[in-house]
Structure 1
C-alpha cells in the first residue's frame, strides 16, 4: 500500500508548475496562465485516479483541489483520493469496479470483489458520519485479510536521461561492438529525450476539458502562489539538501534525529510547507541541541524536538505531528514582516520567549548550510 508520505501533488509541485508556466508563457495574459496552471494540476491529479469515466474524474479532481489543496492547504495523497471517491455513487457497479481495480494496483494484490464491496460499503457509511483515516482502516483490513505489508507507489516523475560512465577496464572488450552500440544508444537517447519533452509538454498544454466552474481556474493560482500563507524569503524556502551530509552533521552532534523516522519526517514537513529543511533542523538545534542520544529522555524528546505547545513534556506526540505543527507555526508567525526586519527575528517574537532564540537559530542555520551540501 502507498506510504503515508507518498504525495501525489504537493504545494511545491504547484509552485514549480506555476514558475515554469510564467517563464514559458511570459507574454501571455495572467488569466490565461492561470488556466494553464490549473489545467496542468488537474491532469496530474487525474493521472492518479481510478479509471473512471472523464466526467467522474473531473468531479473527483475538482473536489480534491477545493478541499485538500485550497481549503486545507495540504498535499494530495492517496488517502485523499480514496476518501474523495467514497463520495461518488457506490450503487453504480462501474464506479465500484474502477475503484476495486485502483486499490488492487495500489496494494499489488488481487482482491475478491464481493469482500471488497462489503468493506467499501462499511467505509462509505463511516465517511457519511465524518469518520477520518478511512484509507488507514482499509489498509488494516487488507493486512489482516490478505496478510500483505505496506507498499509504496510514488507518483510518476518526469523522466531524466542520466549518462552511465563506462569503466576504462571494460573498453577493450567493448570495441567489437562499439559502432553498433553507439548507434543503439544514440537512438535510445533521442527517444528518451523526446519522450521527456513530450511528457512535460503534455502536462502543461492547455486542454479543452477544464475544471468546472471556469472561475476555479482563475482563483486557483491566486490561492496557491506557492504554499498558501507562506511569506518566508527565498533563503528560508525549501531546497533539496544532501541527506548523507545532513546525517553526517547530525551524527557529529550525537543526534537521534539522524535516524528514522525523525530524519525523513522533518524533511517531508519542510518539503510540504516550502521551508528550508536545515531551518527546521536548526530550530531543533536551538530548542534541544539536536536531541543527543546520550540524553536519557532522547526517545521522548525526539517526538517533539521543536517544543511546540510549550515543550516535549507538555505535548509528547509523534515527530510527524510536531514537525507539521512547527512548520505551520513558522509560516503563521512569518506573516506581515516589516520591510528590513530579519525574518528569523520576526518569527522569534511569537515562537519563543527567549529573545536570543533568533540569534541561536540563525547561527546554527548558517553553520549547517556551510557543512551540508546541496544536492545537484
Structure 2
C-alpha cells in the first residue's frame, strides 16, 4: 500500500498557484462585482474543484470530507492539496472507513495504477487508523507530561509563518486552454447558484491571510466535560500582543465583563451559550484575540438568536453559532474553532474603516450581503453592553 500512497501524493488536486490564477481570472471576468461576491465565487470554485475529485465517495460524506481536507491542508498553511490528502480525510471517518470500504477501495483504484483487493485494503485501513490514533494518544500524553513539568508562569511560544503570495501572473499567460475551459465550466455552474449571504471564511483567508510571528501566550488549562467529549479552554490566557487592534475602537477591544449579568442576559433568552464549554470558551477566545466578548456574543445573537436551548439541533448549532464556512450544518466544528475563525475575520474586516463610520456597518458590508446585518449586530451589542455594565 505504500506505493499507492506515493501515487496519490503525486496527483495534485489544487495548489496556491491555481488559487491565485482563479482569483485573477474571476476579478477580470467580474470587475464590477463587490469583493464579497468575488470572494464567494473564488471559494465555491475551490470547493467545486475538490468536489469533482470525490466521484465514487458516498454522497453523504462528500461535504464533511471536503471541509476536513481544506482544514488540514490550506487551512493549516500547506500549499498543496493532493489525492492523498482526500484519502487521508476519508480514513479519519470511521463510518466511511468501516461501512463503505468497497466504495473507498473503488475510489482508490480509479486513481491508482496499482489495484488493491478488499482483504489487503481492510488490513491497511485498520493499521493506518490505529497508527493515527496511537500517534494522537502519544501526542496528548507528551503534552500532559509537559504541562505537569511546566511552572504556572511558563510562556509558550507559538511561531506562525506568513503565507507568501509572491507573484501573480495573468491567467492568459500562465494557463493552458484546458485549464481555462475547466474554469469556465466551473464558473458557469456557479452562476446558476443562489449564493448564501455569508462570506466563506476560506475565501477571506485566501485574500487576506497574514499570520504574524512570535505569538506569546500564557496558558492555564481548564477542562469541561460535556456528554462524551472533553473540551479545553485557555481559561487564563493573556491578551495577546499579536492583536493590538489599534484600528478598532476601544469599546470593541477586550475588556472584562460582568459574567453573572451576561449569564442572566443569556438565560432570559434561553440560550445554550450560557452553558459550558460555550460560555468560557467564547470569553477566552475574546481575550486571546483582544476582542470585547460582547462582540462575539452579538454576532451569535444576530446569526442564531443566541441558540435557544429548545431549538432543533441546538447542540450542533452551538458549535458554530456564527455560521462560518457557509453554515453550522456544513461546518460543524467546535466552539473554540468557530470563535477563533470569526474573531480573526472581524479583526481583518474592520481594517481601513473610514473615519466617522460605524465599524459594525463597515464589517457588515463585507461579512454579509444582508444590508441590515451590521445594524443588527450593533443593536444587540448596545443592548447587551448596557445590560452587563
TM-score, length-scaled by structure 2 = 0.42
Q: Between Structure 1 and Structure 2, whose CA radius of gyration is higher?
A: 1
Q: Which has the higher strand share?
A: 2
TM-score, length-scaled by structure 1 = 0.43
Tell me: higher relative CO, structure 1 or 2? Use CA pairs within 8 A at least 6 residues apart. 1
